[in-house]
Chains A and B, each alone.
Chain A
Amino acid sequence: MANHAVAVAAPVRPKVGREDWTMRGLILVIAAYLVVAIVLPLYAILSKSFENADGQFIGLANYAEYFATPALAYSIENSLTVTLISTVITVTLAFVYAYSLTRSCMPFKGLFKGLALIPILMPSLLPAIALVYMFGNQGFINELLFGESIYGPIGIVMGECFYVFPHALMILLIALSTSDARLYEAAQSLGAGRIRTFFTVTLPGVRYGLVSAFFVTFTLVITDFGVPKVIGGQYNVLATDVYKEVVGRQDFEMGAVVGMVLLIPAVLAFFADRIVTRKQVALLSARAVPYEPRPSGPFDTAMLGYCAVIGFILVFVLGVAAYASFVTFWPYNLELSLNNYQFDLMDGGGWASYGNSVEMAAWTAVVGTAVIFGGAYLVEKSKGFRAGRAAMQFLCMIPMAVPGLVLGLAYVFFFNAPGNPLGGLYHTMAILVICTVTHFYTVSHLTAVTALKQMDPEFEAVSASLKVPFYKTFWRVTVPVCTPAILDISMYLFVNAMTTVSAVVFLYSPDTALASVAVLNMDDAGDIAPAAAMGMMIVYTSAAVRVLHAVLTRGIARRSQAWRRR
């Protein structure tokens, strides 16, 4: 009796069992991974920026030199200029596109949603290469620039708008599809016209989505390296400066300084986005009724026309890249051939680099999904251990704020430091996988958390009361239920590992050259057509994986998601 009373009084501080200790131990293991993979490297690059070439601490001297060198400091202004312009254009274009897909009854919505994803399949170098073929001095439509040069801010803005379009679109699609139909009914019954409703209901409703799209686009553009590298000409930006300092001048300390400068806007935009996203969740009430657009002839036609123009541009850029990869010697020999695909005759690592990329992407998808989903599960489903879980959640968010170039350079400083017991990883496939998993950790983690939150905690409670160990519940319940999210994460990791340049450009070794880096190096050497060809190999592969993902998702959904239907 007395014992029983104690047991009832105890829930304030539940007894920590062996299960919980195991889960806490595993949380600490993954937290340790994140500390090694992101916190320590960031510390290494930060301290490097305060050192001279001999490794002595010199305070802010490097920063003073940076701001005293106009060639470098001017890039801050350049970066902000092209980034702001690109961001405003992209968010506007993507907003109208998303509006068409969610608020009109135009046909072919599925097709246009699919077309909008084209840029995701490419390394950002590839659209820039396509722009050279279109608007360069030998470009076939360069009259459209009225004598302006594509090599500079114009080219950067055009390339970036293409490259980040799908990212802005996806955020805005979600924002626009979660609106409350009751507000529109109210507006209509109060006699508000279409335009008035747009400004008083639609825009306020998606303001957080817009702000979030703005910050995400801003971060992607300012940290992107591929577009300005290919088409920036003499217009220096922060991302290309990091590369120039490290690879061109072998000035690692100044590279670290520029990296830290690049980190500031990325971190600011990241925090602004987090604050806004948190508010957005609170906006949707449980009683909201989803909005259903009604057919309207002229409006639907206009929206279809708009989407057709954007969709055409997206396909056209891809088509130009594909065509460029087959032209024997632009512009003097337009015969089509496979000459540009003979990668073994050129710089960049040959066909082996393509094989390495596929291998690296496969490892990233497998290892990354296991670590990230496992980590998200532990954080979501373990009990107690508040401090540990909060720390883990914070660690999971850091990678999103760190630009790939900064992460890659930080890895050079950390893993290649003399005396680092992990130094053996340097120049291996493993370090490329670790870097890529870490670089794309946050988005994958959030996807996993969302899927896990949808699962009723009753599953764990019931399993625990039946004395089923947590890993059995995890394997037999959680994983099957979350299969769609797991597939999404692995595809996301695979495609990004194929296309990323910035994080790995300082890390590959001649044995582990990658296809995306080969695109960069071939373009640098002036072999622009082979660069386009290698870029297209990445597109073919990413597209194939996407198709495979769609087939798998459909097949598995039929089997494992039957419970969702009644």
Chain B
Amino acid sequence: MPFQAIVRAAGSLAAAAVVIAAMGSGAAQAKSELLVYTAIEADELSMFKREFEKDYPDVEIKWVRDSTGIITSKLLAEKDNPKADIVWGLAATSLMLLADYNYFQPYAPKGVEMLDAKFRDPADPPTWVGQRAWIASVCYNTVEAAKHNLPLPTTWADLTKPVYKGHVVMPNPNSSGTGFLDVSSWLQLHGEAGGWKFMDALHQNIAWYTHSGSKPCKQAAAGEIPIGVSFAYRGAKLKNQGAPVEVIAPSEGVGWDVEAFAIVRNAKNLDGARKLADWSVSRKANEIYNMEYAVVAMPGVAKAVKNFPPGIEGKMIRNDFAWAAKNRLRILDEWRNRYDAKSEPKK
């Protein structure tokens, strides 16, 4: 008898397990989890998640967020066994670097042909697709500049004038995506020799190089330094918050990179990743990108963003991403040997 009781108990347990498993998978079907690695600013993420999940209620986004440098190194560290389903909102140059390790699978999202060609991988189907442009700018603290009698700079060349000595900070390209797009843009604008010559002169005026791309503008906003080389979104945002800064797009042209997405080669939730990709090229998504960024992938969508430097779109250089990605390490080594060996800070 006891033996039969045990068998019966085991049988009902197994049945219960099957029911529970079925319920579990039912729930999983109702809402599949999508693991998204991103470098988009923390304050914007909840809105993207809410709007996407409104349109695709069967997918639930789980963010893994960090700054561009850190998320890139995290992805690289996992290159033998990627954990993400999709990388979304990361610099295109970082995505290209990862693509060298066969990190992604190509996919043409529905409606990708509507996007500006310079915002996507030229291959068909594309490996990466851009969302919006992240553009270099200069933040200028009017209060501190007045104290030191610093005129408003309007060109990159202005920043090399002796009057600005010790009053400028910029991000270290070895750790900051913004820093790298600055350096890469100067090399593309002036040619290699001319670009390094410009940076040699600029280096004379730099007080210190920061780890991140937003710090120069935040330090300028706080008056710790009068002038910070940073990016337009950060400057406009700080100005909107009431910081005494002007956001300047130097007239020679400004460097930029694309925030873009790419689907990981072994994505566990491929269906969810494709849905997010489709949504990300839609008009609605582009309108959301435009709330904080003035230049987005879909032509004709963008409206002016408050306190973005006027006419900045026209100043964006013809950026050769492939060249930048290919020469990235060589440029970074050269930069480090020229400017990072300094032992003493400038007075």
Contacts and interface: CB of A to CB of B under 8 A. Distances in A.
B282 interface: no
The 7 closest A-B pairs by CB, nearest first: A526-B218, A248-B175, A526-B215, A152-B345, A71-B341, A71-B340, A250-B73
Interface string B318-329: 000000000000
14 contacts: A71-B341, A152-B344, A234-B344, A247-B175, A248-B172, A248-B174, A329-B222, A329-B243, A332-B222, A344-B42, A509-B64, A524-B67, A524-B215, A526-B216
B42 A332 contact: no
Nearest to A346: B42
A151 B77 CA distance: 32
Given A69-B336, A247-B73, A525-B212, A136 B224 contact: yes
Interface residues of A, number: 50
B337 A526 contact: no
A525 B77 contact: no
Contacts of A469: none
B205 interface: no
A412 B174 CA distance: 21
Given A250-B73, A329-B243, A525-B212, 15 more contacts: A78-B343, A149-B207, A149-B345, A152-B344, A153-B344, A235-B343, A235-B345, A244-B174, A249-B175, A250-B69, A331-B223, A332-B223, A347-B41, A350-B42, A418-B81
Contacts of B218: 525-528
Interface in B63-81: 63-67, 69-70, 72-73, 76-78, 80-81
B225 interface: yes
A257 B70 CA distance: 20
Most buried by B among A252, A329, A344, A350: A329
Contacts of A43: none
A235 B175 CA distance: 16
B270 interface: no
A147 B347 contact: yes
A49 to B, nearest CB: 16
A346 B65 CA distance: 12
B224 A137 contact: yes
Contacts of A136: 224
A73 B143 CA distance: 40
**B interface secondary structure, majority:** loop
Nearest to B335: A71
A74 interface: yes
Contacts of B69: 247-248, 250
B215 A71 contact: no
B217 interface: yes
Interface in A406-452: 412, 416, 418, 427
B289 interface: no
Contacts of B217: 526
A329 B242 CA distance: 10
**A interface secondary structure, majority:** loop
A110 interface: no
Interface of B: 41-43, 63-67, 69-70, 72-73, 76-78, 80-81, 83, 143, 172, 174-176, 207-212, 214-219, 222-225, 242-244, 332, 336-337, 340-347
A148 B346 CA distance: 9
A462 interface: no
Interface string A335-347: 0000000001111
Contact of A148 (B64, B216, B225, B347): B347
A528 B63 contact: no
Contacts of A220: none
Contacts of A261: none
Given A74-B341, A151-B345, A521 B76 contact: no
A138 interface: yes
B67 A525 contact: yes
Interface in A136-177: 136-138, 147-149, 151-153
Contacts of B67: 347, 521, 524-525
A526 B212 contact: yes
A425 to B, nearest CB: 14
A290 interface: no
B225 to A, nearest CB: 6
Nearest to A236: B340
Contacts of A244: 172, 174-175, 211
Nearest to A417: B80
Contacts of B72: 250
A235 B344 contact: yes
A191 interface: no
A138 B224 contact: yes
B345 A233 contact: yes
Contacts of A74: 341, 343
A524 B341 contact: no
A355 B207 CA distance: 37
A114 interface: no
